[in-house]
Chain A
Amino acid sequence: MDVFEAIKDRRSVRKYKLERVPEDLVKKILEAAVWAPSGSNIQPWKFIVIKDKKVLNMVRKISPGYFGDAPLAILVCSDKKRAYNLGGELGRDYLTVADCAVAVQNMLLAAYTSGLGTCIVKSFSSTAIKHILEIPDGIEPELLVIVGYPDQSPKPPSRRPLEEITYLNKYGKKYFKK
């Protein structure tokens, strides 16, 4: 599949089949994540693959933004100590978030091109998820990626037109003419 096709056709899925995700695809999604660029190549990410039903159920319950019964979730965390040691305050406070987001987009595209649906969830309780998954201090949960075989085909939401948001050489001078 062409990468642009994947970018445009991927949707956030909130209804999944119960079918499990094969291990080779889990590995493929994680490999896609770690090949994302990161500020100063710090690679601040850590991943927790959640497959155990009991653990998944606990995570779902403390995540008001988690919809559907997907058989897999991957919590993308940032290592704040590593980011600070290698990237200073900028690394710790800003780049970790940006880097994890870039890695997550790679994960979504790798999953989509493998026939899987995904949804990014940020609406979870950090305090609760750290307790449930025994995450140590210095490791911050950033984004939860829900993964499974989709049981819905959401329609594409609208996009702001390029004419409205793109400028040439200076802010305000339109790049695209209508």
Chain B
Amino acid sequence: MGKEKNNGNKYLFDLAVFLATSARGCVEEPHLYGPFRLIDALSRLTELPKYATCIKEDPFLTEMKRVIDEKKFLVISDAEAFKTFLENLVREFAKELKRRSLERT
């Protein structure tokens, strides 16, 4: 299937469709699919700078997207490893938050 032509409005709408259908699906899906959809949405959200020129690409978020896309399917094969991956992901975000906060002061 060829890539569709992409633009900001389309990106925003596609993300909105993903979030809406995910929200509905999460009513009945396995409980770990909630976190799974959230990090999948996070992965998609990191592509925002491609479409909103006022936002610069964030190397940290780009790296997190790479990690997420590499690890997210653990949800299907190994629930414990998926939880550990989420823990590690949050730890990376906390480190980066602290670094950025201290940098500003």
A62 in the interface (beta carbon within 8 A) = yes
Give the shortest distance, in Å, between A49 (CB) and chain B (any CB): 14
* A109-156 contacts to B (CB < 8 Å): 123-125, 127-128
Q: A123 CA to B75 CA in the complex, in Å? A: 14
* Selected interface stretch from A64-72, A86-94, A100-108: A64-72
Please tell me if the beta carbons of B22 and A56 are within 8 angstroms of each other in the complex. no
B38 to chain A, nearest CB (A): 11
Given the interface pairs A14-B73, A125-B25, A157-B77, the reply to whether A61 lies near B18 with Cβ below 8 Å is yes
A57-B4 in contact given A14-B73, A64-B25, A64-B40 (Cβ < 8 Å):
yes
Q: Select A157's contact among B21, B25, B76, beta carbons within 8 Å.
A: B76
Q: Is B12 an interface residue (CB 8 A)?
A: no
Contact present for B14 and A61 (CB under 8 Å): yes
A57-B1, A71-B1 known; A64-B77 Cβ under 8 A: no
Evaluate contact between A70 and B1: CB separation under 8 angstroms.
yes
B-side contacts of A124, CB under 8 Å: 21, 25
Is the Cβ of B1 less than 8 Å from the Cβ of A56? yes
Task: Find chain A residues with CB under 8 A from B31 CB.
Answer: none
Residues of A within 8 A of B21 (CB): 61-64, 124-125, 128
Q: Is B67 an interface residue (CB 8 A)?
A: no
Number of interface residues of B (CB under 8 A): 19
Provide the bound-state CA to CA distance between A12 and B73, in Å.
11
Q: Closest residue of chain B to A126, judged by CB?
A: B24
Shortest Cβ distance from A14 into chain B, in angstroms?
Answer: 7
The residues in B between 1 and 31 inclusive whose CB is less than 8 angstroms from any CB of A are 1-4, 14, 17-18, 21-22, 24-25, 29
Give 14 A-B pairs besides A124-B21, A125-B21 with Cβ atoms closer than 8 angstroms.
A53-B2, A56-B1, A61-B17, A61-B18, A61-B21, A64-B18, A64-B21, A64-B25, A64-B37, A65-B25, A127-B24, A157-B76, A157-B78, A158-B78
Which 5 interchain pairs have the tightest Cβ spacing?
A: A157-B77, A125-B21, A69-B1, A64-B22, A61-B17
